[in-house]
Structure 1
Amino acid sequence: GFAYAELDFTTGELNLDYQTGGFLSLIGDLHKGRYTGEVWSWVIDTSAVLMIIFAITGMIILFQNRKKRLAGIWITVLGIATPLVIYLCWVPQIKGVS
């Protein structure tokens, strides 16, 4: 869940918004490592290292396979470019922050 507090200094009015989350909130917190403790942090870090190792060994295997090398490189470029384009086009950017 989350809690949000907003204070209007001119009127002195305080607005509180508190919402408890369900299963999706729990999954989101686990994904982000929020409120999960040191053990879960190690699980996240270990998973990230293993994914990097799998990606590197996959690229090594791809470069050893001459027939599928070009197609694999194009798919890799597409897989990198797609989330980058989505981010640049549809994720709002904060203006004026240096």
Structure 2
Amino acid sequence: MAPVGPMAGYSASKAAVHSMTQALRAELRGTGITVVGAYPGGIGTDMLAGVDADRAAPEVVAARILDGVADGDSVVWPDDASAGAGSVYLADPVRLEEMLAG
């Protein structure tokens, strides 16, 4: 069996946060509290310093999240990369998995 790469734990934590977001949205429905899932791709911050990856400007990501909240969206894909991945995920989650695996 091949060793687990560094993205496995990161991906698992993101999946857990997604599940928590869904659970909170359901639990808080009707209370006046809105739960919005924001799913950005790479953002041009210190976290990705030295990583060769596309990055969205933090200002763009923040503005798109705020726009999504103002529009009443439950899910926000706040940059071009995440919007593309999000549309694939919604149509065919296995296809996105294959794309990310290379």
TM range (shorter): 0.3 to 0.5
Q: State the structure with more CA Rg.
A: 1
Greater RCO (Cα-Cα under 8 Å, separation 6 or more):
2
Query: Please, what TM-score do these two structures have when normalized by structure 1?
Result: 0.33
Query: Please, what TM-score do these two structures have when normalized by structure 2?
Result: 0.32
Q: Which has the higher strand share?
A: 1
